[in-house]
Amino acid sequence: MLPVLEAETRILSLTHPLNPQDDLEWVLLSAAAGRILAQPVSSQLDFPHWDNSAMDGYAVRQADVATSCPDAPTALTVVEEIPAGYQPQQTIQPGQAARILTGAMMPPGADAVVMQEETQREGDRVYILSAPTQQQFVRRRGEFYRAGDRLLPAGVRLGAAEIAVLAAAQCVTIPVYRRLRVAILSTGDELVSPDQPLRPGQIVDSNQYALAALVAEAGAEPLMLGIVPDQPDALQTAIAQAVSTADVVLSSGGVSVGDYDYVDRLLEALGAKIHIRAIAIKPGKPLTFATFKASQSHPPTAYFGLPGNPVSALVTFWRFVLPALRKRAGLSAGWGPAWIWGRSPHDLNADGKRETYLWGTLRVTEEGHEFSQSPGSFSSGNLINLAQTNALAQVPVGQTRILAGTPIRLMQTGGGAIAFP
């Protein structure tokens, strides 16, 4: 069985990003949050756009006030008032100052700002009580960035700070990668959708909904293709249709060694190359990863045959599918899981045969990251105690017990912001 890290490496090496030419679309700035930039963005403007004041106060000629102090203030004549957004009309001459407000353009002739608290105003005269240095409280034009400088590289996800940069640089339509299309199908004769009454032996299809939620959370478009029975013809048709419409296909179920586990056989029949059939991970061992060659009508499609057990499907999504989706979607870095180190106040147990992932809650305490395993059964069929968790603790192969207080590697999952007690 393939070790987890090798499986991740193999999957990522076979996953190719979208094409910055063919897979680019332009979206309005107001709709760009969460999208991935497909071209670098450079500025047409200097930042700041002009010399401006960092304080409310007075724009002065530094040489005029070089000896000013509270006991020997310098008196200057205020010749203009410069609020933000106004273009100064006067050049400051020796013995003159301008009233200036934060963010307002520096007037020609002035080379420093004295903050209001260090001045005293009397009519059209201002007394300067301190000696500024040259350019004190002046934000110089181009000091942060110059026109032509690269503001954002391609391949970054656009969060609030990136959106602010694009707005300030007056980019109103943004080149982003199109959203990935991810087809999802559930396989199994026993499955019924959540709105159907259950007959004996039937199981509700939860994977389809969970996987669609995960795909949407990842910024891709889920295509929910429904439940497919364990009949080779129907399954082959469904897989072929999924492959022809999607960039990535996720099926769940039918990948183990059972009599009705047809997925691998059908993938081969459809011409896919199977790269992985099982991984040394618990939960999630029977996982199939295959690729379909690109054709004229569609780009290469990656296929993940996830195990049917509900917890196994989610854990393998987080561990293997999500990094592949991030890379395929055009992100230039940060594909893998968010790992952090922490400690558990209880012993953690595993069988030692496969790399084991235990689900639970991660919090920040004064001592650092604390992980508490969920109460209840750690069966891969028990999806109930997976709810409200935000991390998986990793127990390496060969270890059957991690003693309380020992550093452990933790993987953050889902929307899973770390909880504060």
Residues binding Mg ion (CB under 5 A): 256, 258, 261
User: For residues 73 and 307, which CB has a smaller minimum distance to ligand MOO in the complex?
Assistant: 307
53 binds, among ligand MOO, Mg ion, ligand LQZAQKY5, none (CB under 5 to 8 A by kind): none
Instruction: List residues binding ligand LQZAQKY5 (CB under 6 A).
Output: 186, 188, 190-191, 203, 205-208, 252-258, 261, 283, 285-286, 307-310, 312, 380-381
User: For residues 181 and 282, which CB has a smaller minimum distance to ligand MOO in the complex?
Assistant: 282
User: For residues 38 and 350, which CB has a smaller minimum distance to ligand LQZAQKY5 in the complex?
Assistant: 350
Distances (CA, A) of 369 to 342, 386, 390, 405, 419: 5, 19, 12, 11, 10
With contact defined as beta carbons under 8 Å apart, do 175 and 38 qualify? Answer: yes
> What is the rounded CA–CA span in Å between residue 212 and residue 163?
27
User: Least separation, in Å, of the C-beta of 287 and ligand MOO?
Assistant: 8
User: Least separation, in Å, of the C-beta of 317 and ligand MOO?
Assistant: 12
Residue among 312, 282, 317, 311 nearest 394 (CA): 282
Near ligand MOO by CB under 6 A, which window of 45-53, 88-96, 132-140, 305-313? 305-313
Q: Is 307 in the site for ligand MOO (CB under 6 A)?
A: yes
Q: Identify the helix (H) or strand (E) that includes residue 267.
A: helix 263-269
Q: Is 254 in the site for ligand MOO (CB under 6 A)?
A: no
For the segment 364-383, give every residue that binds ligand MOO (CB under 6 A). Answer: 380
User: For residues 310 and 360, which CB has a smaller minimum distance to ligand LQZAQKY5 in the complex?
Assistant: 310
Residue among 187, 192, 317, 193 nearest 248 (CA): 317
Residue 35: phi, psi to the nearest 5?
A: -85, 170
User: For residues 207 and 256, which CB has a smaller minimum distance to Mg ion in the complex?
Assistant: 256
CA angle at 183 for the pair 358 and 13, rounded to the nearest 5°:
65
User: For residues 22 and 259, which CB has a smaller minimum distance to ligand LQZAQKY5 in the complex?
Assistant: 259
Which residues have CB under 8 Å from 246's CB, separation 6+?
181, 182, 183, 223, 301
User: For residues 53 and 312, which CB has a smaller minimum distance to ligand MOO in the complex?
Assistant: 312
Distances (CA, A) of 60 to 93, 131, 136, 377: 9, 10, 10, 73
186 binds, among Mg ion, ligand LQZAQKY5, ligand MOO, none (CB under 5 to 8 A by kind): ligand LQZAQKY5
Q: Which of 285, 326, 327, 369 binds ligand MOO (CB under 6 A)?
A: 285
136 binds, among Mg ion, ligand MOO, ligand LQZAQKY5, none (CB under 5 to 8 A by kind): none
For the segment 312-371, give every residue that binds ligand MOO (CB under 6 A). Answer: 312
Please, what sign has the CA dihedral across residues 159, 301, 357, 360?
A: positive
> What is the rounded CA–CA span in Å between residue 120 and residue 140?
26
Q: Is 282 in the site for ligand MOO (CB under 6 A)?
A: yes
Residue among 27, 23, 13, 28 nearest 329 (CA): 23
What residue number has its CB nearest to ligand LQZAQKY5? 308
* Amino acid present at 267: L
